[in-house]
Amino acid sequence: MAELGKKYCVYCLAEVSPLRFRCTECQDIELCPECFSAGAEIGHHRRYHGYQLVDGGRFTLWGPEAEGGWTSREEQLLLDAIEQFGFGNWEDMAAHVGASRTPQEVMEHYVSMYIHGNLGKACIPDTIPNRVTDHTCPSGGPLSPSLTTPLPPLDISVAEQQQLGYMPLRDDYEIEYDQDAETLISGLSVNYDDDDVEIELKRAHVDMYVRKLKERQRRKNIARDYNLVPAFLGKDKKEKEKALKRKITKEEKELRLKLRPLYQFMSCKEFDDLFENMHKEKMLRAKIRELQRYRRNGITKMEESAEYEAARHKRERRKENKSLAGSKRAKEDGKDGEFAAIENLPGFELLSDREKVLCSSLNLSPARYVTVKTIIIKDHLQKRQGIPSKSRLPGYLDKVLKKRILTFLTESGWISRDAS
């Protein structure tokens, strides 16, 4: 029964069950590969007739001496898998080829036969054209370190990695800046029948994609340089307290805000070093001025400066005490004479110093001033809330007094300028 399933060449009578060539014009004409390649003719069959390759899938492309005994069917499945899954996905390729092949066998067979074998040597040129050239470094030099040297992963816990969607082995995030940037090139393909306009359009898409990648990497570098990830997680406060050696003044804070645009050109350390050096320069200039002052006063040794500073502080303290005593005495004398007309009236203790001066100059009693002030401020608040109100100022308030009081309340910040 086994003999009935076998096929034989009609010319040399050799068994052709694994692989044979069948004539499409003659009946029952099947030749072995050797007779077909020699152009054998028999009966009405001619060498120029059409043919059909009949493959049992059990013959080997590389001969019996090839390692592993890969059949033609497995070779076809391997080529389909490399096109579908891509080079390097050996586990998926092994599953596609069949359960009889392991990922290691698939990798070794493809590399040895299709890359380093005769087929690879004939198809893959020694020098691949259109390679990208790095023009930022001298010939033969390494690529930019930012492209070749990976940065160390962030020192954060597993829970914090999950919170941020951070993948430490790739130094990437699940959601990157401009997440849909890859859609610019995902559908691009190079066709031989593209005209110049289509080629330039595709190049423009690639250029836009490269710009987006650079911006994405720039943002990552800024976040790493300025410790934005620890700041987001609330871990930088203790580190700042440890690293802070001096108190930052208000002027320096304002200057840092003004120089914020420099952040994109300088790293965090360079920016901190800039302000640290500026602080050192300021301290040195102050020290130089102090030494020059000592020299003008005849002091040539640092030991003498301590006695000079102690005597100077005593003189300044004595002057301050004298000036404070004189100003206090003059102020008390002036108040006694200036507010003598209204100091005994009710409501005087409710007024501020400026209001006392205003009431004294207008010859207005404190109680009446407080009444007018309350009415004006209440009307102003109702107008701001959109509530219609009519002015209920007393009759003893003429236009001059009203204008003076409104101006005073506006300058003091009680009411806005448009209300006055």
Do 72-123 and 348-412 share a fold? yes
Per the listing, tokens 């219609």 go with 388
Question: pLDDT at position 49, please?
Answer: 92
Question: pLDDT at position 253, please?
Answer: 84
Q: Which CATH code is given to the segment(s) 72-123?
A: 1.10.10.60
Backbone angles phi, psi at 267, to 5 degrees: -80, 170
Give the C-alpha separation, 380 to 405, whole Å.
14
Helices 399-412 & 366-384, crossing angle to 10 degrees?
70
Residue 302 tokens read as: 């640092």
Question: pLDDT at position 140, please?
Answer: 46
At residue 86's C-alpha, the angle toward residues 82 and 88, to 5°, is 100
| Furthest C-alpha separation in the chain | 146
Classify residue 93 by burial, with Cβ atoms within 10 Å: 0-12, 13-18, 19+.
Answer: buried
CATH of range 348-412; options 1.10.3470, 1.20.81, 3.40.120, 1.10.10: 1.10.10
User: What distance, in Å, lies between the first and last C-alpha atoms of the chain?
Assistant: 118
- Helix, strand, coil shares of the chain as percentages rounded to 5? 55, 5, 40
Question: pLDDT at position 281, please?
Answer: 92
Which residues does residue 167 pair with via DSSP β-bridges, in sequence order?
172
Classify residue 410 by burial, with Cβ atoms within 10 Å: 0-12, 13-18, 19+.
Answer: middle
Question: pLDDT at position 241, please?
Answer: 52
Within its chain, how far is the Cα of 338 from the centroid? 66
Backbone angles phi, psi at 20, to 5 degrees: -150, 165
- Contact in structure between 357 and 363 (CB atoms under 8 Å): no
pTM, two decimal places: 0.33
Backbone angles phi, psi at 64, to 5 degrees: -70, -20
Give the C-alpha separation, 371 to 365, whole Å.
10
Question: pLDDT at position 288, please?
Answer: 92
Question: pLDDT at position 137, please?
Answer: 54
Residue type, 287: K
Give the C-alpha separation, 276 to 311, whole Å.
33
Question: pLDDT at position 244, please?
Answer: 54
User: How many residues are there in the chain?
Assistant: 420
- The stretches of 46-117 forming alpha helices (DSSP H) are 72-85, 90-97, 103-110
pLDDT one digit per residue (tens) for the chain, 420 residues: 345 567 889 889 888 777 788 899 998 888 988 899 888 898 889 989 998 877 766 667 776 656 667 877 788 888 899 888 888 889 999 999 888 889 998 998 888 888 888 888 888 777 766 666 655 555 444 445 455 556 677 778 888 888 888 888 777 888 888 888 888 888 888 787 888 898 899 889 989 998 998 888 888 888 887 777 887 777 665 555 555 566 788 888 888 888 888 777 777 778 888 888 988 998 999 999 988 988 888 888 888 888 888 888 888 888 887 777 766 665 555 555 566 677 777 777 777 778 878 887 777 788 888 888 888 878 877 777 777 766 677 766 777 788 888 888 888 777 776 555
In the chain, where are the structural domains located?
A: 72-123, 150-235, 348-412
